[in-house]
Amino acid sequence: MLEMLTEPRGVAVIGASTDPAKLGYQVLNNVIQYGYEGGVYPVNPTADEILGKKAYPSVLECPDPVDLAVVLVPNKAVPGVLEQCGQRGLKGAVIITAGFREVGPTGKALEQQVIDIAHKYGMRLIGPNVLGIIDTVAKLNASFAAGMPRRGKIAFMSQSGALCTSILDLALGQGIGFSRFYSIGNKADINELDLITAWAEDPETRAIMAYLEGITNGPEFIKTASEVTRNKPIIAIKSGTTSAGSKAVSSHTGTLAGSEAAYDAAFKQSGIIRAGSVQDLFDIAQAFARQPLLNGDNIGVITNAGGPGIMASDAIEHAGLKLAQLTNETKQALQAKLPPAASVANPVDVLGDAYADRYAMAIDAVLADPNVDALMVVLTPQTMTQIPETAEALGTISKKYGKPVFGAFMGDQAIAPGVDVMRGHSVPNYQVPERAVKAIAAMRDYRTWLNTPALNVETFDVDKKKVAELIAKTRAEGRVTMGDAEARDVLEAYGVPLPKSGVAATPDEAVRMAEEIGYPVVMKIASPDILHKSDIGGIKLNIGSASEVRDAFDLLIYRAKARSSSASTATRNSVR
């Protein structure tokens, strides 16, 4: 559980300052002002008191109990401070200071020194290069963030401290709560794997949110995430998957970013829900944190306006969900109490003059329908609309049925009182139906994952030495991608069945190989300089004779040279 972070009995702020303009003052002020009940010990060798708290010249002189240090001293002083923390018996440290691996070789060496000291004393570290950590359960804000989030059921981690501040401000504005809110920076010690493992057992957390720039141990991450997501959803943004993004990540937190396809596959394999934006991240996490799981794909919609009802219907269909087919009994019950102009089909249109009692009747009827798995209530603020009263009806009635419900109260200032009411009932609201549908679709995908049998991963012998040699050869030649022949050698080393093939440097060699393989054959360019062969017409199919082989050989070489005169070329024949 990483108790030194979630349940510290005392916190030493090392580098606390008397200057309100400095981080050492701001972090100490945050630790004090939000209700943390443990001991708070400013460490500053030149001050007697800071913010009403007795200051100490070093952590060695802080009284018991103290479990956690928040470190804000210059980077070169961090190893000495950690040495003292270890001698003092502290269990953990949050290193806010930057200037480590992210700045280059010198910083990397300094970071390794910090890691070695932590290992020597059995301390756990967050950071370096972080905003800090916030724990609403412990009422601890050990960060320089401007504000404290509400208490909630979402645990959040981010490699970007600046993004943390933006997300925190967004969360404060939308009333979204967190259990844990950690900036993890360079991940010198505690990383995403440690946190999802700890949060999997955390009773204060129902959903895990993450912004990741890289993953420390890919295979172990997939294994652990696959287990955690069987009990709690993980929603993540993975940045740095483009070439430009990868370069930015390396200079940001010193993380090596992976390819888009690799991360997408890894997330799918481990049941992680991938969000496309920060807003999606929030929308999806809110749904999981505030509502029961979705048990089916049939969605009911209630609206007081036709256009938004159509928007909701389109979004539901585009997402692969279904508009629920209401039973005749439900339609009759609605028809008996709604005005003649109202629609009792799904979406149920209660009309623009609907008061809260009309909404309440429709909500009760639709949620009671056995064909409805979830309900979205769309509301546009009109002169007759009772916004907080309608929100109260939605929140109260939803508790009777145990089905997920979602508000789509559209607008901003006018609907704000209703959003506050829904928040009190743990009903998430989305300003447009499409956002609600994205969250519902994510819940559907998660249910599909839960219903998918766990993978039975088989292990097998691999010629790792051969693969390592191929990778080393590629790097030694200054390349970052392998050619066709090298890729085949890697697949063979892993025991992947492959069609018969050969590499020919001349038309005669191509004919001989084709006849050994047997017609028809496929021919394609084999060049480490041409990765996307089809883009230049570098593949020929269904070649059935020696003369066709010679013609194809000449054509493929011509196209390759036309594309890049310096490209290294040959052709590969293989069985289709």
**Could you read off the pLDDT tens digit of each residue along the chain, which spans 576 residues?**
699 999 999 999 999 999 999 999 999 999 999 999 999 999 999 999 999 999 999 999 999 999 999 999 999 999 999 999 999 999 999 999 999 999 999 999 999 999 999 999 999 999 999 999 999 999 999 999 999 999 999 999 998 888 888 899 988 888 899 999 999 999 999 999 999 999 999 999 999 999 998 888 888 999 999 999 999 999 999 875 444 444 444 444 444 444 677 888 889 999 999 999 989 999 999 999 999 999 999 999 999 999 999 999 999 999 999 999 999 999 999 999 999 999 999 999 999 999 999 999 999 999 999 999 999 999 999 999 999 999 999 999 999 999 999 999 999 999 999 999 999 999 999 999 999 999 999 999 999 999 999 877 677 788 889 999 989 988 898 887 787 778 888 998 998 888 888 889 899 999 999 999 999 999 998 877 777 788 888 899 999 999 999 999 999 998 888 876 655 555 555 543
Tracing tokens 């890697």 back to the chain, one arrives at: 490
Tracing tokens 């003052």 back to the chain, one arrives at: 25
Q: What is the CB neighbour count within 10 angstroms for residue 106?
A: 13
204 touches 179 (CB < 8 A): yes
Residue 346: C-alpha distances to residues 217, 222, 336, 390 (Å): 48, 41, 16, 19
pLDDT at 422: 97
153 touches 117 (CB < 8 A): no
pLDDT at 256: 42
What are 124's strand-pairing partners? 92
For the entire predicted model, the pTM comes to 0.80
Phi and psi angles of residue 408, each rounded to the nearest 5 degrees, phi first: -130, 60
81 touches 62 (CB < 8 A): no
Q: How far apart are CA 407 and CA 134, in angstroms?
A: 29
311 touches 434 (CB < 8 A): yes
pLDDT at 141: 98
Residues contacting residue 294 through CB under 8 Å, at least 6 positions apart:
373, 374, 404, 440, 443, 444, 446, 447
Coil, helix or strand at residue 38: coil
pLDDT at 462: 87
Residues contacting residue 363 through CB under 8 Å, at least 6 positions apart:
302, 375, 377, 393, 394, 397, 398
The structure tokens listed for 342 are 């109202």
Nearest to 102, CA basis, from 83, 79, 128: 128
pLDDT at 240: 52
Could you report how far apart the first and last alpha carbons of the chain are, in Å?
A: 54
The structure tokens listed for 176 are 């979204």
Beta strands in 271-380 (DSSP E): 273-274, 298-303, 322-323, 348-349, 374-379
pLDDT at 59: 98
Q: How far apart are CA 288 and CA 152, in angstroms?
A: 12
Please give the domain boundaries of the chain with CATH numbers for all domains.
1-132 (3.40.50.720), 149-290 (3.40.50.261), 294-438 (3.40.50.261), 464-575 (3.30.1490.20)
Q: Beta 207-212 vs 234-238: how paired, if at all?
A: parallel
Q: How far apart are CA 114 and CA 506, in angstroms?
A: 58
42 touches 73 (CB < 8 A): no
Nearest to 101, CA basis, from 194, 196, 209, 191: 191
Tracing tokens 């945050």 back to the chain, one arrives at: 30
pLDDT at 424: 95
pLDDT at 214: 83
pLDDT at 427: 97
Residues contacting residue 121 through CB under 8 Å, at least 6 positions apart:
85, 86, 87
Phi and psi angles of residue 496, each rounded to the nearest 5 degrees, phi first: -80, 125
The structure tokens listed for 367 are 């949620």
pLDDT at 503: 87
DSSP characters over 335-390: HHHS-TTSB-SSSEE--TT--HHHHHHHHHHHHH-TT-SEEEEEE---TT--HHHH
The structure tokens listed for 33 are 């002002």
Cis amide linkage into residue 499, ω under 30° from 0: no
43 touches 23 (CB < 8 A): no
